[in-house]
Structure 1
Amino acid sequence: MGFRELSDDMDALVLDGLGDMATVGGREIAGFFSAPWLQPRMGRINTALREPQFEIRVVDAAGIEPGQLVVVDLAKQDGGGQYDLVKLEPDGSGWVALLLRAKA
């Protein structure tokens, strides 16, 4: 088994155990949600996170486009709710950040 296959298996295990679920354009996808109002603090320095994001694997990003509705399946206090997909940002490591804007 090659590195890419091992990496895909590891990603799937991490998503199963730690991932969040969201519906993107009507399709359920596992990923990692993060929001600026919930940002982690490192000592007294805030992280550089500015907009809500949902990180997904590149293989799950097929057919996803800006303007689609993203519904994050979390409690409201954890950032769950409806968002507009503003932009997709691949990071070059097999993951894509979906940059979100809260629905008005």
Structure 2
Amino acid sequence: MEDFRELSAAMDSALLDVLGDAVQVDGKPARGMFAAPWLQPQFGRLKTAIVEPQLSMRDGDAVGIVKGSVVVVDGLSYEVVSIEPDGTGWTALILRPAA
């Protein structure tokens, strides 16, 4: 029987494969969940409180990413300004448009 962490990791992987965004981080392909205030992300009918673009990734996929890393999403470049693990196995990369 698998434990909860193994089941959660399998679920996260399946979700990213189907719903995740293909991105590049420092020139390397990666997958995550991109959200930006101008995309007006919502949960049901509620708007989220996102005020800056961010990319959520599994902790293991975020290893080696540092402030100043470059993330490319849909051809647009962003700079990582903050790295925020949430304690559930996911890390939010807080972004700003690259100059």
Q: Fold match, TM over 0.5? A: yes
Q: Over residues 15-48 of structure 1, what are the superposed CA-to-partner deviations in whole Å (9 max), with x where a residue is unaligned?
A: 00000011112221110000011123565x6421
Q: Secondary structure at the match of 2:63?
A: coil
Q: Aligned-pair RMSD on alpha carbons?
A: 1.5
Q: Contact 2:55/2:94 (CA < 8 Å) preserved in 1?
A: yes
Q: Distance in 2 between matches of 1:97 and 1:12?
A: 16
TM-score w.r.t. structure 2 length? Answer: 0.89
Q: Distance in 2 between matches of 1:68 and 1:95?
A: 18
- Would you say how many aligned residue pairs link Structure 1 and Structure 2? 97
Q: Distance in 2 between matches of 1:10 and 1:94?
A: 12
Q: Distance in 2 between matches of 1:47 and 1:12?
A: 24
Q: Distance in 2 between matches of 1:25 and 1:90?
A: 19
Q: Contact 2:59/2:90 (CA < 8 Å) preserved in 1?
A: yes
% of aligned pairs identical?
52
Q: Distance in 2 between matches of 1:47 and 1:8?
A: 25
In structure 2, the residue matched to 1:77 is none
Q: Distance in 1 between matches of 2:30 and 2:55?
A: 10
Q: Which runs of 5+ in 1 are unaligned?
A: 75-79
Q: Distance in 1 between matches of 2:47 and 2:33?
A: 19
Rate the CA distance shift 1:6–1:38 in 2: closer, same or farther, 3 A. same
The one-letter code sitting in structure 1 at the alignment partner of 2:28 is R
TM-score w.r.t. structure 1 length? Answer: 0.85
The one-letter code sitting in structure 1 at the alignment partner of 2:53 is P
